[in-house]
Chain A
Amino acid sequence: MSVDFLHPGEGAAIDTDVPALELRGIDKRFPGVVALDNVDFTLKPGKIHALMGENGAGKSTLIKIMAGVYGKDAGTIRMRGREVDIQSPRDSLKEGIKVVFQEIALISEFTVAENIFLEGYPTGRTGSIDWKKIRADSAALFNRIGFNVDPAARTGSLPVSQQQMVEIARALAHEARVVVMDEPTSSLTPNEVSLLFTVIRRLASLGIAVVYVSHKLDEVFEIADTVTVLRDGRHISTKPIGEHSNDTLIQDMIGRRIDNLFPRQRGAAGGKVALSVEKLSTARKLDEVSFEARTGEVLGFFGLMGAGRTELAKAIVGYDPITAGTISVDGQRLTPHDTRTGVRLGIGLLTEDRKSEGLMGELPVYQNASLASLGAFARMGFIDTAKEHRAVQDYVDRFRIKTPSLFQQVKNLSGGNQQKVLISRWLMRGLKVIVVDEPTRGIDVGAKSEIFALIDRLAGEGLAVVMMTSEMPELLGLADRIAVMCEGRLTAIMSRDEATQEKILNAAIG
């Protein structure tokens, strides 16, 4: 590798008429599924092109074909007008396509510089690796994207946002013409997002075609020039972003209209105090957090990454240990501090991490739903399965849980339906306070509104709902009151009427 790649064609005129990458008539079949059906996708150099669609729409399949992870069954791929044959990730990289996946593919034990030049270390005259050059070139690359990361830092010690920058720098090192960002903001703070956007715009100004895969509408409106929507493996639309509104974009994604993402059915909030938390502290994070939640209300907690929302959620249900403070449910103290007492008093957690803390993936839907309320179906320790199945079937019908049967392994359901199963688990138990942590993480736009409606219904039925979220629209759309956290402390509580995005963000920064 020579040093030339640091300034290829910078400032030179970019020929925007020839597509940087052109996919035509792409088909991809998996056993029993048509993942992509005759999909066209054209990228112009220097433009940011959003790729949108619900889970299962074919976004990931398409970018995996670009990345050479999957082979296509039919169709052609052209780079700058020339047909290319991409069989492996190596081919893809060689053609100048760099995909930054959600799961960062860096070696965490290596330094940043080592990772950037992973595919070919520059060597000195003796054949030994030229470490000095590697560091210098890395620094130069970061300089070009206008972002600073210490090339000598151990990669694993960096936050995700900076690891992304390392991946982008790698793309430049390979003289990439196309950079694909797969849901890049899913674990970034708002500050980091705006930094990332600056870098992405910088990439575009260098003449690189950027594919931005996301299902966050506000981000796409902010960053993209063009939007392509896929649905059920088919190309639905490609339009300049200016021709889209929130509604038209959602309509394209889910194929029907959603009139109101946050349908509010319940009446005014504010019953009696159901949950009272006083000066709660934990060893690692929480610092004297006090608040109350009332029956029939949704109390929304907002905070940036690391603010302590999840820690708070796990502490107040008795899952994680506390060092000081008290928790009372319906006036009764949560002692001893464990989930057994918590559930007995009527407080439970709908976890943010469904897979590792909520679902028993291998087990059938009905066993997942009844887990917290088995006692109600048992006589002398023996389960009355007929009664159990009837009760679960009732919830499957009421919540419209899409499953071929009660006996389906829950891991085969979609994210939204899994979430409904977990909500059923708590409703069958009968709670007074439900703590929901990021209730729509990994859930499609279409299913999101159903989850919102369910949360609304929970509050309407007289539960106190404590909702942890990092999504501002979710917070403003659902909560009656808004609490804001910063570094383990509660920095503000306000009613929805007095809340503004600015106020909330200010409190979140501290």
Chain B
Amino acid sequence: MSELTHASAPKRFIGGQLLGSSQLVLGVILAVLCIAISIAAPQFHSEANIIAILRQCALVLVVASGMTMLIITAEVDLSVGASLAFVGCIGMAVLNSTHSLALGMLAALAFAGGVGLFNGLVVTRLRVNSLIATIGTMMMLQGGVYLFTREAVQNHNQLASFTDLGAGYVGPVPVPVILAALIFVVAYVTLRFTTLGRYLYAVGANEKAVRLSGVRSERLKLFAFVVTGLCVGVAGMILSSLMNAGQPTAGRGFELTVIAAVILGGTSLLGGRGSLFGTLLGVLVLKVIDNGIIILGWNQDLQMVVPGVVIILATYLDIIRNRANVR
């Protein structure tokens, strides 16, 4: 018996490789994309363009970090796009009236966190399916933002620190990229090394088992919803800084980009499976495609079409790979 278990040490290695190989596929796709676009348009790998791509990624990655946690618990939040726009307007309005970045930021986080809390309570207490619950929230927010303001909330203060949030640099690195990296690392460490992270996977894999083990599973889901909300708060402020205004129309379709990146990264909508590293690759692939389409001067409407194709293709490749593993 003990031979059986010891003989398996190399298997662990293989297991690790298999787990990683969905990310390997994604890594290869990313590399191929980068090389192909570079050949067609050498300006792709200019420093300015790379930084532009990273900045584009930052906004998505911030929210995708929270969304990865949430989807790992087998829930989803479709209201992040609508919330992003609303948060920008509220943050900007508070900033205008208080002249304080801290208060504006706080208001944005409080609002977005509140939206997450609301979603979480509807899902865990009222037991409404999260897909439906957050579509409801999305509609409420999309309508609600127009009750709040009919047009863009302009920036009246021109606080330097606020402008830096979206457009600033530390050395050569844009501030949003640094914020995204920070959030990514915290989320990564949490999922990978902590009991909290382990429980998030466990809840997604089997909520009843977690409850029977004496862990309050609803709280874990609630936590993931609130974290996703807070991430939207950060992203909303970055976005309004970039646009120098709170735009009620911003963020349309943003939720799809975020969820697409997470799924592309190999996180299962069924819960219990997924990784933040995959999400990072997913974000990069989507944004490199975006960038490539612009650089190559293709029709910009392809920015929606191509990622759609990529998602179906990548998921299909994943299925093939799984089948090959079962053999």
The reply to whether the CB of A367 lies closer than 8 angstroms to some CB of chain B is yes
Q: Mark A429-459, 1 if CB is under 8 A from B, else 0.
A: 1000000000000000000000000000000
Distance A340 CA – B211 CA, assembled complex (angstroms): 8
Known contacts A374-B195, A383-B195, A404-B4; is A317 also within 8 Å of B205 by CB?
A: no
Q: Of B1, B2, B214, which one neighbours A342 at CB under 8 angstroms?
A: B214
Q: How far is the CB of A314 from chain B (nearest CB, A)?
A: 9
Distance A31 CA – B165 CA, assembled complex (angstroms): 57
The reply to whether the CB of A363 lies closer than 8 angstroms to some CB of chain B is yes
Q: Of A338, A343, A404, A406, which one neighbours B213 at CB under 8 angstroms?
A: A343
The reply to whether the CB of A407 lies closer than 8 angstroms to some CB of chain B is yes
Task: List, in ascending order, chain A residues with CB within 8 A of B150's CB.
Answer: none
Is the CB–CB distance between A357 and B193 below 8 Å? no
Residue from the set B5, B194, B213, B273 with the largest chain A CB neighbour count within 10 Å: B213
The reply to whether the CB of A361 lies closer than 8 angstroms to some CB of chain B is yes
Task: List, in ascending order, chain A residues with CB within 8 A of B272's CB.
Answer: 360, 362-363
Task: List, in ascending order, chain B residues with CB within 8 A of A406's CB.
Answer: 5, 8, 12
Task: List, in ascending order, chain A residues with CB within 8 A of B4's CB.
Answer: 402-404
Task: List, in ascending order, chain B residues with CB within 8 A of A343's CB.
Answer: 213-214
Distance A363 CA – B210 CA, assembled complex (angstroms): 13
Find the B residue at minimum CB distance from A350. Answer: B212
Q: Mark A334-351, 1 if CB is under 8 A from B, else 0.
A: 000011101110001101
Distance A400 CA – B194 CA, assembled complex (angstroms): 29
Distance A382 CA – B193 CA, assembled complex (angstroms): 6
Residue from the set B16, B199, B212 with the largest chain A CB neighbour count within 10 Å: B212
Interface residues on chain A, size class: 35 or more
Is the CB–CB distance between A371 and B210 below 8 Å? yes
Q: How far is the CB of B264 from chain A (nearest CB, A)?
A: 19
Is the CB–CB distance between A374 and B9 below 8 Å? no
The reply to whether the CB of A263 lies closer than 8 angstroms to some CB of chain B is no
The reply to whether the CB of A425 lies closer than 8 angstroms to some CB of chain B is yes
Distance A400 CA – B196 CA, assembled complex (angstroms): 30
Distance A360 CA – B198 CA, assembled complex (angstroms): 12
Interface set, chain A 251-268, CB cutoff 8 A to B: none
Q: How far is the CB of B131 from chain A (nearest CB, A)?
A: 21
Q: Of B214, B273, B327, which one neighbours A339 at CB under 8 angstroms?
A: B214
The reply to whether the CB of A14 lies closer than 8 angstroms to some CB of chain B is no
Q: Mark B195-236, 1 if CB is under 8 A from A, else 0.
A: 110110110011011111111100000000000000000000
Known contacts A339-B214, A360-B205, A363-B205; is A375 also within 8 Å of B195 by CB?
A: yes
* Chain A residues near B (Cβ < 8 Å): 31-32, 317, 319, 338-340, 342-344, 348-349, 351, 356-364, 367, 371-372, 374-375, 378, 381-383, 393, 396-397, 400, 402-408, 425, 429
- Give the 8 A-B CB pairs with smallest separation, nearest first: A343-B214, A405-B8, A360-B205, A372-B213, A357-B208, A360-B206, A404-B8, A374-B195
Give me 29 A-to-B residue pairs in the complex whose CB atoms sit less than 8 angstroms apart, sorted by A's number. Answer: A32-B327, A319-B212, A338-B216, A339-B214, A340-B215, A343-B214, A344-B214, A356-B206, A358-B206, A358-B212, A359-B206, A362-B268, A362-B273, A363-B201, A367-B198, A371-B213, A371-B215, A372-B213, A378-B195, A381-B195, A382-B194, A383-B194, A383-B195, A397-B2, A400-B1, A403-B5, A407-B12, A408-B15, A425-B213
